[in-house]
Amino acid sequence: MAQFFEFFQAHVWLFVALGVVLALLIANEVHGNLTGGKRMSPAEAVRLINDRDPLIVDVRPLAEFKRGHLLNAFHAPLGKFDEYLGQLAKDKARPVLVYCALGVSSSTAVEKLRKNGFAEVYPLRGGINAWSMANLPLTTK
């Protein structure tokens, strides 16, 4: 135990940085749960897709969408998202899975969908990058 305290005293800034990083991670999770509701992991999203046939919305720019997206995804880039709300409103009864590249900017689309009467809207935690890291399929069609 004495060695730990000696190490701590020699590397105080490392422990301060660790504390800051942990606090930011916890704050990010709490903020996401308070504002964005439940964020789905790729595995949970697969279960949703298989069981409930959600409307899948990709909010990334067109160039990224063309490089690969989830099967049957509707492309509604975040910059022009308001223009696509009318087309999406036809399916308000279906659950909606929204994703972007990293899972950060999709929260804006989630908020807009909820304000427009969509009851079940779920952002994909980690975005399409998490989907790809889980070795789940993408399509370019």
Three-state SS for 77?
coil
Which DSSP state fits 36? Answer: S
Which listed residue (100, 109, 110, 113) is catalytic?
Answer: 100
| Helix 2-10 vs helix 12-35: crossing angle, to nearest 10 | 80
Two structure tokens written together for 39: 């964020």
> What CA–CA distance (Å, rounded) separates 118 from 7?
53
What strands, in cross-sheet order, belong to the sheet with 55-58? 74-75, 55-58, 96-99, 121-123
- Is 100 assigned a catalytic role? yes
Catalytic (active-site) positions: 100
